[in-house]
């Protein structure tokens, strides 16, 4: 293929990618927000059955989710701080699970849950009708 053709094809793919990325926005945010709930339910199950591998897997997935662009629906310093707090707790939970420390993991789980509630309280205060 000639370079001009390759450039044109790459450009076309770029446009398609941008279009999809824009479409994905709100749906992806919704998917992430719901995934949080599923992962935190899996954490409770992991605690109840002392399944450290399950705990580590879902806690670290929660940490990663909180780094996604679509997580950051609110662009304020406070939202960033709340996200960092949340991640600190999910990391603590991951570490406790890796150390097979059930009490530590349970405590970190409570910390994670507190951060869910704290951030949603904040979101409700700045965006009426966004969070249940």
Q: Which is nearer to ligand HEC, 9 or 109 (CB)?
A: 109
Q: Verify binding: residue 112, ligand HEC, rule CB under 6 A.
A: yes
Residue 122 CA to residue 80 CA, distance in Å, equals: 12
- Reduced to 3 states, what is the DSSP secondary structure of residue 31? helix
**Quick check: 27 and 35 in contact, CB under 8 A?**
no
Site for ligand HEC in 47-76 (CB under 6 A): 73-74
Q: Verify binding: residue 40, ligand HEC, rule CB under 6 A.
A: yes
Q: Verify binding: residue 119, ligand HEC, rule CB under 6 A.
A: yes
Displacement of CA 131 from its chain's centroid (Å): 15
| Structure-token pair, residue 29 | 């945010």
Which residues of this chain interact with ligand HEC, rule CB under 6 A? 29-30, 33-34, 36-37, 40, 73-74, 79, 82-83, 86, 112, 115-116, 119-120, 123, 130-132
């Amino acid at each position: 293929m000639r370079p001009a053709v390759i450039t044109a094809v790459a450009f076309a793919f770029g446009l398609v990618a941008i279009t999809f990325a824009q479409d994905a926005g709100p749906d992806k945010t919704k998917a992430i927000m719901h995934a949080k709930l599923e992962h935190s339910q899996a954490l409770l199950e992991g605690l109840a059955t002392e399944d450290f591998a399950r705990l580590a897997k879902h806690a670290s997935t929660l940490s990663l989710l909180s780094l996604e662009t679509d997580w950051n629906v609110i662009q304020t310093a406070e939202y960033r701080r709340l996200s960092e707090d949340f991640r600190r707790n999910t990391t603590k939970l991951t570490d406790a699970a890796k150390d097979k420390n059930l009490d530590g993991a349970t405590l970190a789980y409570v910390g994670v849950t507190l951060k869910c509630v704290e951030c949603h309280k904040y979101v409700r205060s700045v965006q009426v009708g966004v969070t249940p």
